[in-house]
Amino acid sequence: MKRYANITPEGSRDFLFEESDDRKSVESTLSALYKEKNYRKVITPAIEYFDVFSNGNTGVEADDMYKLTDNYGRTTVLRPDNTMPIARLVATRLRDAAFPVRLYYNQNVFVKNKAHAGRTDEIPQSGIELIGDGSLDADIEVISMAVEALSRTLRGSYKLEIGHAGFFSAILDKMDLTATQKADICNFTESKNYAALGDLLNRLKPCPEIAALKRLPRLFGSVEVLDEARKLYKSAESNRALDYLKTLFEKLEKMGVSDKIIIDLGLVNRSNYYTGVIFRGYADGSGVTVLSGGRYDNLISEFGLDCPAVGFAVDVNALCEVKNEVINAERPLRIALTKGRLEKSSVKLFQKMGLDTKELENKGRRLIIPVDGYEAVLSKAPDVITYVEHGVCDIGVVGKDTIAEHSSAFYEVMDLNIGKCRFVLACPQGVDFYAGYKRKTVASKYPKVASEFFKSKGMDVDVIKIEGSVELAPLLGLADGIVDIVETGSTLKENGLVAVEEIMPISARVIVNIASMKLRKEEIESFLADMELASKV
């Protein structure tokens, strides 16, 4: 029976009429801009060898690529990125060309997104690469084209944020760190996870770099952050990166586009891709990054041609999907709160912030509740993450347990130190969970956390997803143990279970949508400052 003949696979979709027209119109507008500036079109195959992307430079995990094999059994992938194939093309087909070469493309990339996240796996990108020119003028050309690309395709307002890979590496290179510590610092800086970054840095031997790294995720906003950064940390390399950004900004100012530019020194080079300037575009009405780019001087050499390059890619779907109800400076800031366990303490926190919570306490069946000029939304924990990730809510209060299980793209800016509990592995009293050779079965409401815990121990276990009262599973003989949250420990005790090992401490966190943070910076920072003060009372 043809079970799937009438539907498209999850992550893909049809585009009909207006939707296809919108896409075509964005692509045509962008192509016209590229052609005006003498960029020439290239098309690379949708299917490439896995080796083109296997060095981890794209930031896409190998597991998230669509893999196939060719006629000889060699692994191929549907391209997850456009820059690597173009680097391959330049290093092979254009190595004798008169550089610089200016190329543009309109073609899709394919990345497996998590199920039911409202994202397509096939992403139409439109972008340019300026290859063979390592100068400031080349960066200016590409950045001003990025501004122009957004201005020609968007009706509402937008911002382009600029950072520099060199500033962060100048600090990091002076420190004696393991590869894991480096990766964690990168990750926490990029996700503006001040709490986790602070914890990690406090465990290291004190040095001047630590103070600078702690401040780095907060170094974003207008051009003044460059002076702040200069005071915070001084070295020849870091000054070079800051001088570069300053000159770049001044040139963009002369071109009349500086009001569209914000600086973020917390933009770091997680994927080893970028070597100099990095930039991202955010649009009013979109919760995601609509444009991203930067300088990548070492990438083409991986294909055998030493050649500097700079470029950007626009997410065409994201531009077409700009909606009024997503981040929009006209509507009140919207805060998603977690129902249940964290609800009372969140309301109390609002009260400590001096907010009038009467309507929130007497909400009845209302789902969007006005709170003193803000809007509060009460939802289940995983939904708080979804609403914030998509930008329909700007800020969220949610437990670290849910973040660990449903990790996603947002800034995790504060540990509220409320709703404290811990993840544990527990099993029936008197039983040695680790004894014997039989494969263990573990029940959990948090299958990802449970699987990762056992993976880190090199232990192969069966994890069964249970929706609630997970303590029942070992009592009924379904599982040998459970991975769950424990607060007072009374549920475990009353059911004859004991904690075998603690997995991680949990508390409520504040998360912020990435685009909101950039487009509504002042309002969000002032709200967060009030919240931080209140959380310490």
Residues that bind ligand PRP (CB under 6 A): 341, 468-471, 484-491
Which residue lies nearer to ligand PRP by CB, 106 or 444?
444
Positive or negative, the CA dihedral 241, 193, 258, 30 is positive
Which residue lies nearer to ligand PRP by CB, 380 or 439?
380
Q: How big is the CA angle at 237 (ends 173 and 305), to the nearest 5 degrees?
A: 80
Tell the smallest beta-carbon distance from residue 136 to ligand PRP (Å). 55
Which residue lies nearer to ligand PRP by CB, 198 or 489?
489
Tell the smallest beta-carbon distance from residue 205 to ligand PRP (Å). 37
Tell the smallest beta-carbon distance from residue 470 to ligand PRP (Å). 6
Which residue lies nearer to ligand PRP by CB, 388 or 486?
486
Tell the smallest beta-carbon distance from residue 382 to ligand PRP (Å). 12
Which residue lies nearer to ligand PRP by CB, 428 or 489?
489
Tell the smallest beta-carbon distance from residue 417 to ligand PRP (Å). 17
Tell the smallest beta-carbon distance from residue 464 to ligand PRP (Å). 15
User: Which residue in 197, 193, 195, 167 sits closest to 182, CA to CA?
Assistant: 197
Tell the smallest beta-carbon distance from residue 491 to ligand PRP (Å). 3
Which residue lies nearer to ligand PRP by CB, 133 or 484?
484
Which residue lies nearer to ligand PRP by CB, 291 or 470?
470
Which residue lies nearer to ligand PRP by CB, 156 or 489?
489
Which residue lies nearer to ligand PRP by CB, 86 or 342?
342
Tell the smallest beta-carbon distance from residue 467 to ligand PRP (Å). 8
Q: Please name the amino acid found at residue 235.
A: S
Which residue lies nearer to ligand PRP by CB, 190 or 383?
383
Which residue lies nearer to ligand PRP by CB, 156 or 447?
447
In order of 104, 177, 409, the CA distances from 112 in angstroms are 25, 32, 15
First to last CA, the chain: 64
Tell the smallest beta-carbon distance from residue 149 to ligand PRP (Å). 47
Tell the smallest beta-carbon distance from residue 146 to ligand PRP (Å). 46
Which residue lies nearer to ligand PRP by CB, 187 or 491?
491
In order of 2, 251, 370, the CA distances from 293 in angstroms are 43, 19, 39
Positive or negative, the CA dihedral 283, 285, 288, 291 is negative
Residue 241: both structure tokens together: 């990166």
Local structure of 500: helix, strand or coil: strand
B/e letters for 479-489, b = 16+ CB within 10 Å, e = fewer, are: bbbbbbbbeee
Q: How big is the CA angle at 299 (ends 294 and 301), to the nearest 5 degrees?
A: 145
In order of 87, 141, 322, the CA distances from 137 in angstroms are 21, 6, 31
Q: What is the CA radius of gyration of the chain?
A: 25
- DSSP track, 129-166: EEES--SHHHHHHHHHHHHHHHHHH-SS-EEEEEEEHH
Q: Please name the amino acid found at residue 328.
A: N
Are the C-beta atoms of 462 and 440 separated by less than 8 Å? yes
H or E element in which residue 192 lies: none
Q: Could you count the other beta carbons within 10 Å of the beta carbon of residue 496?
A: 12
Tell the smallest beta-carbon distance from residue 418 to ligand PRP (Å). 15
Which residue lies nearer to ligand PRP by CB, 331 or 493?
493
Tell the smallest beta-carbon distance from residue 449 to ligand PRP (Å). 12
User: Which residue in 513, 507, 512, 516 sits closest to 535, CA to CA?
Assistant: 507
B/e letters for 154-165, b = 16+ CB within 10 Å, e = fewer, are: beebbbbbbbbb
Tell the smallest beta-carbon distance from residue 476 to ligand PRP (Å). 15
Q: Please name the amino acid found at residue 490.
A: S
Positive or negative, the CA dihedral 266, 272, 276, 280 is negative
Compute the distance between CA of residue 184 and CA of residue 193 in angstroms, rounded to an integer. Answer: 10
